[in-house]
Structure 1
Amino acid sequence: GEEEEEEAAERVKEKRKSKKWWWRLRSFFRAAKKQSPESSSGQGEEEQQQDEGEKRKVAWAGRSSDDYIFSRYTVGDQLGKGGFGVVYEGTRLEDNLKVALKYVTKTEHMECIFIQIALTILANKGHRVPEIIRLLDWTDHPDHFVMVLECPSPCENLVEFIRRHRGSVDEETTRQIMWQAAHASHMCCLRRVYNRDVKLENLLINRETSEVKLIDFGCGDILGNSPYKSYHGTAVYSPPEYYSRGEYDGWPTTVWSLGIVMFTLLCGHFPSDYDLFLLQHKQWSKPGLSKECCDLLGVLLHVKPIRRLGLE
C-alpha cells in the first residue's frame, strides 16, 4: 500500500543520510592526517601552552563582537590544563548554560584534536545519551582550536570523588556509577567509537544529582573489527592481552577498563597481580562486599578476553 511505500522510502532516505555522514567523517580524518602546521620554537611545549593559554584569556575580553565563539560565550576561571591545552569555565550568553571552553594550541601533533572533535560528534550521533559529553561548538583558528563542551555543575571527576569519600565508596554508590559508565561506553561502541581511555579521570559526576558523564575522546579511534597493535590510553588500564599477545580488541578492552574503574571505586587502589589471580580463580573477596559484587569483578577482570562479560 501507499503507507508501506512511504515507510520504505523513508528507510532508504535515512540509510543514505547515515552513509553520507560516515563518508564526511572519513574525509574529516583524511584531512586531519594530511595537515601538519609549523610548530613554534623556543619554549617547551607545555610551558608555551600555559603561557599562551593565559595570554589568550586576557585577549578574549578584547575580542570584537563579530568573533563567532567569543561573541556567544563569557569566559571565567581556569578549570584545568593538560598536555594539549587549557580549559576555562564559561557561560553561553543566549541561555546562561554552563560550558567548558577548551583552548588548544596547534602543534605538529594536532591530528589527535581533529580525532577528538570527530569522535565526540560521532559518539553523540543519534538519540541523546546524557552519559556522554557533548561538543556544543568549536572553531578552527590559524594557531589554535576552541572547543565548547558541556560542563555539568557542580561536578568532579571520580578521582576527586573517591578522595572526598575518604578513599573508596560503598557498593550501592558504585553500582549507580558503573551502570552509567557502562551505558555510555556501550553506546559509544555501538556508534563505532572506541574511547580507549575509560578511566576515573575521564568520568565526571555531578555532586548533587550523581549523574555521570564520559569525557575526552583524545585517545580514541574508530571501532573496527581488526585487533589494535598499539595502546594509546592510560597504561594502568591497559588489558593483559596487549602485553601477552601484542594486540587487543575494542569491546573486551572496554570491559576491562570498566572493571579497573569498579575495583578502584570499591577498594581505593588499583588491583594487584595477586588480586587479579584471585579474581580469575573466583577466590577474591573483600569485607562488606556481596558475593555477587565480587563475582562481577571476576568476570570483568578475567585475564582471558573471551571469558570476560560482554559489554552489552
Structure 2
Amino acid sequence: MAVQHPHPRGETPVDADYIFSHYTIGDELGKGGFGVVYEGRRLEDDLKVAVKYVPKTDDTECIFIPDHPKPLPKEIALTILANKGPIVPEVIRLLDWQDHPDHFVMVLECPSPSENLRKFMRRHGGTLDEEKTRHIMRQVAHAANVCCLRGVFHRDIKLANLLINSETSEVKLIDFGCGDMLRSSPYRLYSGTADYSPPEYHVRGTYYGRQATAWSLGILMFVMLHGDLPSDHDLLQLKQKRCSKPGLSTEGCDLLGALLQDKPRRRLALGLILHHNWFKVVT
C-alpha cells in the first residue's frame, strides 16, 4: 500500500508539474543525514523507481554545469554528468529530478532484486571468494573510470554505495552526495568515508581525485576478500608483495599492492586497472 509522500512543510501541492504528482510513493528504502529514499512507481508505466527527497540546509552547495542555466544542487549536477552519454549499466540512472528552494527530489532507477554490497556480504558470511570479488571489481572499476572521464569525482565508493543484484551479480554505483567535479588541482577537504580516504590526505592534507579513487577501490577489494579494513601490518605486507589472505592468487595480491600504494604517484592509474592480469584470469 502506498504511503503519503513527503512534501516540504507538510503541505500538499496542487501543481500537476510537481514531481510527486507523477509517482506513487511506497515504503522507505533508506534514511540518513542526507534525506530519505522511498520506493516508488511511475504512474505512466508502473516502472519501479527509487525517490530520494533531500531537504536543503545552509550547507547545500549548488554548482553550474553545461546546458543548465541555473546552479543545481551538487548531487543532482554530478548525477546528471555521470549519466551524460551512452548508458553505463554500472552507474545508477537518473530518471527525473526537481529542484525547489527548500528541498530537491531525485528519481532514480531501482533495480530489483537488489541490496547494497554490505548486506550482500553479510549474507555470504562476511567475505567473498576471489571469483566473485573479481566480477564485482570489474564493474566498479569501470563505473569509477567512466565517472572520472565524465568529469565526476564520486569520492565515496564503498560497500554501502554499491547495489548488487543477488540473481545476476550486476552492480551499480549509487549516491553522488559526497562527490565533486573532477579537477586537475588537489583537493583539501575529504567529505567521503574516512576509512576509504587516501593516506596522502592524512599526511599532507591534499590529494588528487583519480589517485584517491584508485585507493578507495583497493580498500573495497581488500574488504571484500578479507571482511575487514587493512591494518598497517596488512599494508606493509602488500608493500613487500605478500598477502595475508590464504590462497589469494599472485595476481590478486599484486593488484591489491598496486592500488594500495602509499605513494600516490606509484598507484595503479585508474584507466589501467581493468588491464591488470588479475582480470585476465580464466575461471
Band the TM-score falls in, shorter-chain normalisation? 0.7 to 0.9
CA distance in 2, matches of 1:54, 1:301: 47
Query: Residues 1-312 of structure 1: matches in 2 within 5 Å?
Result: 56=6, 64=14, 66-111=16-61, 114-312=73-271
Deviation for aligned residue 1:60: 9.1
Gaps of 5+ in 2: 63-71, 272-283
Amino acid at match of 1:190: L
User: 1:285·1:294 contact (CA, 8 Å) conserved in 2?
Assistant: no
User: 2:4·2:25 contact (CA, 8 Å) conserved in 1?
Assistant: no
Per-residue deviation, residues 190-216 of structure 1 (Å, max 9, x unmatched): 111101111111111111211111111
User: 1:79·1:89 contact (CA, 8 Å) conserved in 2?
Assistant: yes
- Large movers: runs of 4+ above 6 Å: 59-62
CA distance in 2, matches of 1:236, 1:150: 28
Deviation for aligned residue 1:283: 2.0
Deviation for aligned residue 1:143: 2.9
Aligned residue-pair number: 260
User: Which residue is 2:277 aligned to?
Assistant: none
TM-score calculated relative to the size of structure 2: 0.86
Deviation for aligned residue 1:96: 1.9
Gaps of 5+ in 1: 1-52
Amino acid at match of 2:109: E
Deviation for aligned residue 1:224: 0.8
Per-residue deviation, residues 18-38 of structure 1 (Å, max 9, x unmatched): xxxxxxxxxxxxxxxxxxxxx
Whichever structure has more helix as a proportion of its residues is 1
Deviation for aligned residue 1:62: 6.2
Amino acid at match of 2:16: D
TM-score calculated relative to the size of structure 1: 0.79
What's the secondary structure of 1:56's corresponding residue? coil
Distance verdict in 2 for CA 1:62–1:246, change over 3 Å: closer
Q: Which has the larger radius of gyration?
A: 1
Amino acid at match of 2:22: R
Amino acid at match of 2:126: G
